[in-house]
Structure 1
Amino acid sequence: MQRWVYLGLGWLMIGLGLIGIVLPGLPTTVFIILAAFFFARSSPALHAKLLAHRRFGPVLRDWEARGAIPRRAKAWAVGSMAAILMLSLVLGLPAWVIGVQVVGMGAGAAYILTRPD
């Protein structure tokens, strides 16, 4: 049963990652890393296929080997967070929403920026 749950979560992460390619503010890389995590526990063949992917494979292999995030991905992630925060300010969202965003995105940005390149 656990294998099927992990397999379903892996496919869900792939779907969210694909949506993130076209939807600003939704991170693709994080979802693909999570998909690799779930596939590693449910389907060695799908995990291997992700690791062999021409676009995502190198990023996943670096993540699995050293916890590394490419500098370009870091810049996009932190830049997207800043853009969403600026949009929230421009739209005049309530202060508590801005506060939650600052705390959440600040923690996410700190984590991303402390990973090796």
Structure 2
Amino acid sequence: MTRPLWVAAGFVLFALGWIGMVMPMMPGFVFLLGALYCFARGNPALEKWMLEHPTYGPALRNWRDHRRIARKSKVAALSVMVLAGVLSGVFAGFPVAIVPIAIMTLVAGWIWTRPE
């Protein structure tokens, strides 16, 4: 893949990451990790900018270097998942809500078992 394609993919993933930060049930940080990966291959200056960003830079560095998730981030992610699960149950109803709640339960278990 050429450098411009890596950069383009990085911008798409970056945009999805920001959308995911405000949309429940959409994992924003995963897309930011993808953007970081793409920028590392296409434009190291953008990778550096993401890693030095005051808001999400520390979490990106923590994951990239040590595969750790801070307890504050874990609690925030799990809280949003619980809220999204409750809203799914209320608005979608019993049979439909089982699938997203099951998926969020599996993801929550994975998040909680990551080192801090």
Range into which the TM-score falls when normalised by the shorter chain: 0.7 to 0.9
Q: Does 1:73 align with 2:78?
A: no
- 2-side partners of 1:100 and 1:3: how far apart? 38
Contact 2:68-2:115 at 8 Å conserved across structures = yes
Query: How far is the alpha carbon of 1:94 from its aligned partner?
Result: 5.2
The equivalent residue for 1:39 is 39
Q: TM-score, normalised by structure 1?
A: 0.84
Q: CA RMSD in A?
A: 1.9
- 2-side partners of 1:25 and 1:100: how far apart? 12
Percent identity between the two aligned chains: 36
CA pair 94-7 structure 1, distance change in 2 beyond 3 A: farther
Q: Does 1:113 align with 2:112?
A: yes
Unmatched 5+ residue regions in structure 2?
none
Query: How far is the alpha carbon of 1:110 from its aligned partner?
Result: 1.6
Unmatched 5+ residue regions in structure 1?
none
**Number of residue pairs matched?**
116
- 2-side partners of 1:13 and 1:84: how far apart? 22
The equivalent residue for 2:93 is 93
Q: Deviations for 1:55-100, whole angstroms, at most 9, x for unmatched residues?
A: 11111111111111111111111111111110111114351x3222
* Structure 1 residue identity aligned to 2:75: A
- 2-side partners of 1:19 and 1:64: how far apart? 22
